[in-house]
Structure 1
Amino acid sequence: MVAAVRKKGPVEVPEIRVGLKMKHTRLLKGLTLKQLAGLAGCSESVLSRIENGNANPSIKMMHRVALALGMPVSGLFQENGDPSGVVMRQGERPMVGTDQIRRGKESRLEALIPSGRGNLLSGYINDIEPGGGSEGILQHEGEEFGYVLDGEIELTVDNRSYQLRPGDSFYFRSERPHSYINNRKKLARVLWVNTPPSF
């Protein structure tokens, strides 16, 4: 799989083409585009655009497609770095963008933990542009922990909203309905950890 490279300061960050991984996994599982669209509850045209690199999925869409493929969202990320899975160096970690970019609300996820089989954790730095977020309610098995590195987000769990600032942390069971949004005018950066790796 070929990853695009997006410059970020003096280092080059590999940007993952989720669509290629999605298509590859779909074909390995013997699913047609129509079958996967039915399982994920979306249209064939949306999946086709994602698979062909003409659109990036939203965070919510990545959850739905990964669930339909029987894998965590982290399975859609290409592994890079140390083959032993111990170290993921700055500038070599996989990064994926969401479809919110066309509306100026991009979110970027930088993987901090290799997406190997059998991992009990997944961890990311989630860069959330103003107006960006989960684009709807998420709900899945597991636990989530987060720490706000920069900026602010509004986290909603069980219909209760919390405004989080740098230094604030959060934890909740992922089965509880949850969503988040950056409702400020500045980029927010959140360290986000899930177990098991549903994301």
Structure 2
Amino acid sequence: MNSKPKPSDGSRVARSDVLASPNRLGVRLKLARQTKEMTLKNLAASAGCSESLLSKIENGKASPSLPMLHRLVEALGTNIGRMFEEVDGEEGIVFRAGQRPFITLDPLRQGEGITLERVIPYSVGHLLQCNIHHIDAGGSSAGPIQHVGEEVGYVVAGEVELIVDDLSFRLFEGDSFAFQSGRPHHYRNAGTGRASIFWVNTPPTF
């Protein structure tokens, strides 16, 4: 009987990783801004960044941090999933191991080391959003982040520190968590190897 590689297998991530192109992200952000008839100045003010930085992001010359991307899509009335929209798998039901897309929001940024494996590729028909967050040793999410919704996670591998409000939790393989997304939250790899979290949230925000 053939054994299947674990989702947290670092070699699988290295082979299958599809980086989120800054050019593609920039084009989609610009299109969303123009559709909303917003100027660079207005969107930059809403997202709390400079016009020059926003221009660089739209032109693929810079990548936003995760908190900034949250603010941008919120101001645009959309979500992060639409910025990285993927085609569904077999009838939108089955997503094969090794064929799920991986995205990295900012592969050149030092100290983050987070890759999202899409368990459910983005679709307007989904009420849930589900990713496996693969976190390299020393990696951490930019944050804290707040948004509408609820989320639940399960530590598949490694050791993670989860911070919600001013509370810090050390989580290990097999531990789980749940909280309202409006509470400020972020996380980091607290171990020496790759960590992976199976993470579900609703409504879709990533």
TM-score (norm 2): 0.81
Richer in strand (by share): 1
Shift of 1:191: 1.0
Aligned-partner SS, 2:18? strand
Residue of structure 2 equivalent to 1:180: 187
Measured in 1, the distance between the counterparts of 2:14 and 2:151 equals 32
Which residue number in structure 2 is paired with residue 163 of structure 1?
A: 170
1:76 Cα shift? Answer: 1.4
| Shift in Å, 1:178 | 1.5
Structure 2 residues without counterparts, runs of 5 or longer: 1-10
Which of 13, 19, 26 aligns to 1:15? It is: 19
Q: What secondary structure does 1:102 align onto?
A: coil
Alpha-carbon spacing, 1:168–1:136, altered in 2? closer, same or farther (3 Å): same
Aligned to 1:4: none
TM-score when normalising by structure 1: 0.84
How far the C-alpha of 1:11 sits from its partner, in A, is 5.1
Q: Which residue of 1 aligns with 2:102?
A: 95
**Quick check: 1:63 aligned with 2:70?**
yes
Residues in 2 aligned to 1:70 and 1:83: alpha-carbon distance in whole angstroms: 29
The aligned amino acid for 2:160 is I
Q: How does 1:76-115 map to 2 (within 5 A)?
A: 76-82=83-89, 84-99=91-106, 101-115=108-122
1:30 is paired with a residue whose SS is: coil
Compare 163-172 and 104-113 and name the one that shifted more. 104-113
- Equivalent residues of 1:56, 1:97 under 8 A apart: no
Mean Cα deviation higher: 87-96 or 163-172: 87-96
C-alpha displacement at 1:129, in angstroms?
2.3
Q: Flag the structure with larger Rg.
A: 2
> The residue matched to 1:87 in structure 2 has which SS?
coil
CA RMSD of aligned residues (A): 2.4
Aligned residues: 193
Please report how far the alpha carbon of residue 9 of structure 1 lies from its aligned counterpart in structure 2 after TM superposition.
6.7
Instruction: Trace 1:18-29 onto structure 2 (pairs within 5 A).
Output: 18-29=25-36
